[in-house]
Amino acid sequence: MRTVKFASIAWGLCCFALALTPVIAESTPDAVKTTLMTRHLSTTRDQLETMAGGQDALVKQLLELRHEEHVPFVGMRAEKLLLQYADRPEVRLALEEDLRAPRYKGLAKAIAIHVDTVPDSAAREGMAKLVIERAKQDPSYMPYARMLRESSDENVRELAREALD
């Protein structure tokens, strides 16, 4: 009787410990979501692409997860990761949609704060223009638009200075 009870407790603890490790996440269908849920995200973009089954699969999952509101961190982290793929048309359209939508104010702030991580200069400038446009419509968004004046991209800095001065 004691052995059975001990074995079931041990089995439960082992299952719980395995559920928390990133290794187990790679074998589940929701590997990316599970990884984005972790408190301290240390997974690289390459690791996420491997978990998802390639870059295209990762982008598709991130596009779906970017509006996740029920699980902490997931939507915001997905949005930040999507910025690195902003040279892809479907990603750029999704990011622009989030910048325009009043419902996604938090996502729009994340885009404004991390606009320098967009690898494509044309996409980066387009995002910056939308950030400035949103700031003109919503005064509470102005501090995020002003941050563009300190951008590492000279064209973005110039756009911000011209529009906001």
Domain that holds residue 39: 1-85
Instruction: Find which of 1-10, 20-29, 134-143 is predicted with most confidence, using mean pLDDT.
Output: 134-143
Residue-level length of the chain: 165
The model's pTM is 0.76
First to last CA, the chain: 78
23 and 78 co-located in one domain: yes
117 and 80 co-located in one domain: no
- Which band of pLDDT confidence, cut at 50, 70 and 90, is reported for residue 23? very low
Which of 70, 85, 100 is the last residue before a domain boundary? 85
Q: Determine the average pLDDT of the residues in 51-74.
A: 91
pLDDT at 164: 87
